Amino acid sequence: MMMKPTLSFDRSRELFEGLQQSRNPHAADSLTRASEAPEIDPQQYLEARIYKVFVKEDMEDSLLGLNAEAELYLIGVALDNISSDPLSFKVDTFRISSSDPSDDDTPESRPDRLLQFGSTGWSFYRSPNGKLPTYLDLNMVLFESDEDLRETGQIMKDLATNEELKGMKNSAIAMLKSASTATWAGFASNMALQVVGLIGKYLVLNQDDVISHLQASHSTAFGDIGNRDFKFSDHNAGWWYGMRQVENA
């Protein structure tokens, strides 16, 4: 099962795929420059973090119905082009409570519908020490659960031994060894959607349970990788996420 994003920020993937298909003689040089990794302190690494997710009022009404509380899964999936195991993921559980209607549908006025993760955020990707990826595909998905939430520690243990997911990891490792950045960009995008679908299947979730799904591709070609913050929203939710170069403790 492959999930469909409700929101995409995919200019980096589109750039690499466009350059790969171009017959322009300068395309190869452009691909090389876009794939050059910036230098980073050997004691630093890059983290991708979600800082806030805001569930909008119309979506809250649909989620809660007559219930006082809605149970949610947050899933993060990342694929980079530098790690020995380029595929990483994380799953967590959250709840939102019913609230009084308001004309001001903003995170500041409706904290009851805001998932907050503190100043350090909800980290779901970490690069190897001393390295920055030149291409990074991120998927962030908020699911509604119709069943009781499972314990996150057990979820991660079960997924770590899932044979289908192991096969996806092996495919990603093999592809990265031989693929150009342009080829990897398309592969990573499709692979991430398959991984989200597999995790959803394990959690007995489907496309109808998706509240919001943001797929974002980042690259050094646009200066998208480093200490950067991003904000996007669709009709159901708003996302605040970013990347930080972190000193290794």
Condensed to tens digits (0 to 9), the pLDDT of residues 165-183 reads 999 999 999 999 988 888 8
Cα 209 from Cα 42, distance rounded (Å): 42
- Which is more confident, 20 or 143? 143
Residue 54's Cα: distance from chain center in Å?
A: 16
- Report the 10 Å Cβ neighbour count for 8: 17
Structure confidence by residue, pLDDT tens digits, 134-168: 899 999 999 988 888 899 999 999 999 999 999 99
Q: Which of 57-61, 179-183, 237-241 has the lowest mean pLDDT?
A: 57-61
Give the model's pLDDT for residue 64.
Answer: 54
Strand ranges of the sheet holding 135-144, from the earlier edge strand across to the other edge? 7-9, 210-219, 135-144, 69-80, 87-97
